[in-house]
Each structure stands twice: as C-alpha cells, then as structure tokens.
Amino acid sequence: MTPAPRPDEPSETEPPDVPGFRTWRGIYLFVFGWFVLVVILLAVFTGIFA
C-alpha cells in the first residue's frame, strides 16, 4: 500500500542550508530576480544585434 503521510517533513520555515540564504523565500526571490535579469539581458541582446 502507499506509505503513510509524512507529518514530520521539513516545513517552509526550515532553512534551505544554502550559503547566503536563510529562507526559501529568499531563494525564490533570487530565482525570480535572475529571471528578470535574463529577460533584460535578452532585450539588450536584441537591441544590439537585431
């Protein structure tokens, strides 16, 4: 049968254990910021070459 649910799974508040980040929200913000930066760089690339 399917194993029982895991009530003790680390929650949102558990630190991600990544240098420079104390919360998962920080990592999500970093990834979102990276995405915005990539779009800006692609727009600049388009402006230079297209």
Partner 1 sequence: MNVADWVVLLGTIVGIAAYGAWRTRHVRSLNTYLRGNASTGWGTIGLSVMATQASAITFLSLPGQGFESGIGFVQNYFGLPLALIVVCAVFLPMYRRLNVYTAYEFLGQRFDEKTRLLAAGVTIYAPAIIISTVLGWPLNLVIVFTGLLVIVYTVTGGSEAVALTHKWQMAVISAGMVTAMVVLLLRLPDGLGFSGAAHVAGALGKLQAVDFSLDPSRRYTVWTGVFGGLFLSLSYFGTDQSQVQRYIGGASLREGRLGLMFNAVLKIPMQFVILLLGALLFVFYQFAPHPVFFNQAEWRRHAHDSRFRAIEAQHATAVAQSQSAIRAWLQARAADDPGREASARTTMIAAGDRTREIRAEAKAALAAADPRAKTQDSDYVFITFILTQLPHGAVGLLVAVMFASALSSKASELAALGTTTTIDFWRHFRPLAAGDEARNVRVARRFTALWGVLAVAFALFAGFAENLIEAINILGSIFYGVLLGLFVVAFFFRRVGGPAVCLAAVIAQALVIVMYFTLNIGYLWYNLIGCAACIAFSLVLQALLPPRARAAEGRAG
With binding defined as CB under 8 A, does residue 18 bind partner 1?
A: yes
With binding defined as CB under 8 A, does residue 23 bind partner 1?
A: no
Q: Can you tell me the distance from the alpha carbon of 49 to that of 9, in angstroms, rounded to the nearest whole number?
A: 49
CB distance 27 to 18 below 8 Å: yes
With binding defined as CB under 8 A, does residue 14 bind partner 1?
A: yes
Q: 22: which DSSP letter?
A: S
- Residue ranges that bind partner 1, judged by CB under 8 A: 1-7, 9-12, 14, 16-18, 24, 27-28, 31-32, 34-35, 38-39, 42-43, 45-46, 48-50
